[in-house]
Amino acid sequence: MLNKQILIRAASKTTGLSLRDTAVCIDSIIETIVIAISRGQRVELRGFGVFSIKQVPAKKYPSAYSSPVIPAHGKVVFQPSQKLRESAWKFSGSKNKSS
């Protein structure tokens, strides 16, 4: 599993920056992406994918006691790049098959 701390360590080794400086850079990148998405902007990271907002219409969910309404809202969607999709396909095909 890759979490934020492992990502920071790996980026620090690659760039030669200190862990603290790398953490500031990664936090800044994440914050910038979140702000852009919250404004409804499309975020495209070449070689990785695209984050965008999809509008979801209001829905009624019937239940035994009442019919709550979920209001219309935005939903974050991610479309992976071709490179990322191909990497995932290779990974899923390389798993050991049970004998």
Instruction: Kindly report, residue by residue over 32-48, the tens digit of the pLDDT.
Output: 999 999 999 999 999 99
Boundaries of every domain in the chain: 1-37, 42-60+69-93
Report the distance separating Cα 33 and Cα 43, nearest Å: 7
- Model pTM? 0.75
Instruction: Kindly report, residue by residue over 42-75, the tens digit of the pLDDT.
Output: 999 999 999 999 999 998 877 767 778 888 999 9
Number of separate helices (H) and strands (E) present in the chain? 3, 5
